[in-house]
Amino acid sequence: MSLSRTTRQCEGGVQVRGLSKRYGQRLVLDGLDLDVELGQIVALLGRSGSGKSTLVRILAGLDRPDASHHLAVGSVAVAFQEPRLLPWMPVWRNVALALEGAGAPRTDHGPRTAAVAMLDEVGLADRADDWPLALSGGQAQRVALARALVREPDVLLLDEPFSGLDALTRISMHQLVRRLHARHRRTMFLVTHDIDEAIRLADQVLVLAEGRIAAAHLVRHPLHELRRDLLGELGVTEDETSRTRH
């Protein structure tokens, strides 16, 4: 199996064929195939250590696969579990950092104006000149989303960005992601360990197991049947899912 170059000809989605990644003797991804259509929100579920974050890092260009027949993805931005804000820069500068460097979109009115406009979309324009340490966890994650979206990416990768938040803040973030998706229609690829979060946010839910996509479900009604199927495919109990939410 040979490694093909990552291409930017995917028209806003993701297409992967035969993707493999090994760390030492451990095979994490094993000939994985993946399709994410333009404008979809796709959630990826899997047990800890199943390779979810490895896949995100490869899609983001932060890691290289060992092999792939085909790897096509448009321009990408990532929001991680930790907001990763620079504490010595005000909030707007943290967002504007994404407008620097190769591949960043040009702005007509300067980086501050673009950053504040995106902060307004996440409800934090009035905090533009504050320092990151003055923000709550949910507010910091909103800034991270603004920083990712200000680049106008084809694909927004969300690597468990809400797992460290309390339940009410997480629900608020879910509503924000849905509003942002409706406004910008970006393709979103969400990695999560929370079945209910996946069902709440996604158009399609994928299950990663043994290095491959083991199951794919369109989000459908009745939702309790989909939830039951996902629990079975992940091999987890209701008690285990309850512990992940608290």
Q: Do 202 and 117 have their domain in common?
A: no
Q: Do 63 and 112 have their domain in common?
A: no
Closest CA to 179 of 223, 146, 221: 146
Is residue 81 in a domain? no
Q: Do 109 and 7 have their domain in common?
A: no
Residues in the chain: 246
Number of domains in the chain: 2
Q: Do 182 and 69 have their domain in common?
A: yes
Q: Do 46 and 2 have their domain in common?
A: yes
Q: Tell me, what DSSP letter sits at residue 105? A: P
User: What's the pLDDT score for residue 6?
Assistant: 45
Q: Do 51 and 93 have their domain in common?
A: no
Q: Do 135 and 224 have their domain in common?
A: no
Is residue 83 in a domain? no
Distance CA(196)–CA(209), nearest Å, equals 19
Is residue 128 in a domain? yes
User: What's the pLDDT score for residue 96?
Assistant: 95
Out of 152, 180, 195, pick the residue that ends a domain: 152
Out of 112, 127, 152, pick the residue that ends a domain: 152
Q: Do 138 and 174 have their domain in common?
A: no
Closest CA to 168 of 91, 82, 245: 245
- Residues near 116 by beta carbon (within 8 Å), at least 6 away in sequence: 92, 125, 128
User: What's the pLDDT score for residue 11?
Assistant: 61
User: What's the pLDDT score for residue 19?
Assistant: 93
Is residue 110 in a domain? yes
Is residue 225 in a domain? yes
Out of 99, 120, 152, pick the residue that ends a domain: 152
Distance CA(69)–CA(109), nearest Å, equals 42
Structure confidence by residue, pLDDT tens digits, 133-170: 999 999 999 999 999 999 899 999 999 888 888 888 88
**How far, rounded to the nearest angstrom, does the alpha carbon of residue 105 sit from its chain's CA centroid?**
20
Q: Do 95 and 11 have their domain in common?
A: no
Instruction: Tell me which residue has tokens 């907001």.
Output: 83
* CB-count exposure of residue 201 (10 Å: 0-12, 13-18, 19+): buried
Check residue 61 and give left, alpha or beta (phi > 0: left; psi -120 to 50: alpha): left
Q: Do 246 and 161 have their domain in common?
A: yes
User: What's the pLDDT score for residue 240?
Assistant: 52
Q: What is the CATH number of the domain that holds 71?
A: 3.40.50.300
User: What's the pLDDT score for residue 4?
Assistant: 41
Maximum CA extent, the chain? 52
With a cut of 70, which residues of the chain have pLDDT below it?
A: 1-12, 101-109, 221, 236-246
Closest CA to 204 of 192, 190, 194, 218: 218
- Residue range of the domain that includes 48: 1-75+156-246
Q: Do 140 and 160 have their domain in common?
A: no
Q: Do 147 and 103 have their domain in common?
A: yes
Is residue 82 in a domain? no
The pTM assigned to this predicted structure is 0.85
Pairing of strands 41-45, 26-36: unpaired
For residues 8 and 74, the answer to whether their CB atoms sit within 8 Å is yes
Q: In what order do the strands lie in the sheet containing 70-73?
A: 26-36, 14-23, 70-73
User: What's the pLDDT score for residue 161?
Assistant: 87
